[in-house]
Structure 1
């Protein structure tokens, strides 16, 4: 009787250990950082490809991103010759950069609106009111976004809260700040 209890206790303990190890491995495989990303559900416009011909819209917006006070470099040629847009001729996404990277080119075959989130979906990084990249809003950090014209600077009067849903307009300057509150 005692040997049966010892046997079942050993089997139960072993099973619990195996279960805990498997659960730990599953969590490690789910995500390298464990964070949900808005880029996992891309906007349909982020999947459209085009060339420079027959455009109904070709606008420019300046985007600057600051993380903890340091300007984040936006890559040059982002959205050009990607895994999605790589065909001969139609090798650009609807929003892309050339040089310098902070100047966004918004191009459409048909007139229409383009939310800022499309650019981040093309980039493959997270951006919405919960944060940017792997930085998330929490008790100590927040995100703000300002939209203004050349000659102005970020202030409370030009702060917007639409983040990824903000519709891009020609000539605007957009500054995003993730910083300690």
Structure 2
């Protein structure tokens, strides 16, 4: 086979592989290097944004407490991370020195926990269970990429598929 033919075959294979990734694993192309994860504030001076969202997690119908002081004086920051909690109510404080998105997944990165379409904390979806997310009462399939807005109420459920 001539080298031009091999190049055409190679290009066709690479194109098919790219489309397979897009169709069968669309989240593989999502950039999860969120700017807000690297925010570390010494205090509330000169904030451009100070918003709040509420996060609630349910595993098989039982609500999981969101710990107090997630993202405050942790191993990566001696101050306040861009998304943090002060108490155990699930109220997320989104504070940034400039305009930037606050994806739900960024909070889980700061927390050191797992959240995606197949897993919440240590609960993994299988043939009988699923992970679903609601934002302000509406089903939302953006999972970790959902950019939180002021006063969003985010509920994540790990549940039986029959529910």
Secondary structure of the residue that 1:65 maps to in structure 2?
Answer: strand
More strand by share: 2
User: How large is the RMSD of aligned CA atoms in angstroms?
Assistant: 1.3
CA distance in 1, matches of 2:35, 2:48: 18
Structure 2 unaligned segments of length 5 or more: list them. Answer: 1-31
Which residue in the other structure is 2:47 paired with?
55
Which residue in the other structure is 2:36 paired with?
45
Spell out, residue by residue over 1:139-172, the C-alpha distance to the aligned partner (whole angstroms, 9 max, x if none).
0110111111xxxxx4xxx100000000000011
CA distance in 2, matches of 1:83, 1:101: 23
Aligned counterpart in structure 2 of residue 104 of structure 1, from 92, 104, 128: 92
Moved over 2 A (4+): 41-45
For the Cα contact (< 8 Å) 2:39–2:96, is it kept in 1? no
Please identify the structure whose Cα radius of gyration is greater.
1
Which residue in the other structure is 1:36 paired with?
none
Which residue in the other structure is 1:37 paired with?
none
Structure 1 unaligned segments of length 5 or more: list them. Answer: 1-40, 149-153
Aligned residues between the structures: 129
CA distance in 2, matches of 1:71, 1:42: 29
Alpha-carbon distance, 1:42 to partner: 6.0
- 5 Å-filtered alignment, 1:131-142, equals 131-142=119-130
Bigger mean CA offset, 96-105 vs 76-85 = 96-105
CA distance in 2, matches of 1:180, 1:42: 31
For the Cα contact (< 8 Å) 1:131–1:137, is it kept in 2? yes
CA distance in 2, matches of 1:76, 1:101: 8
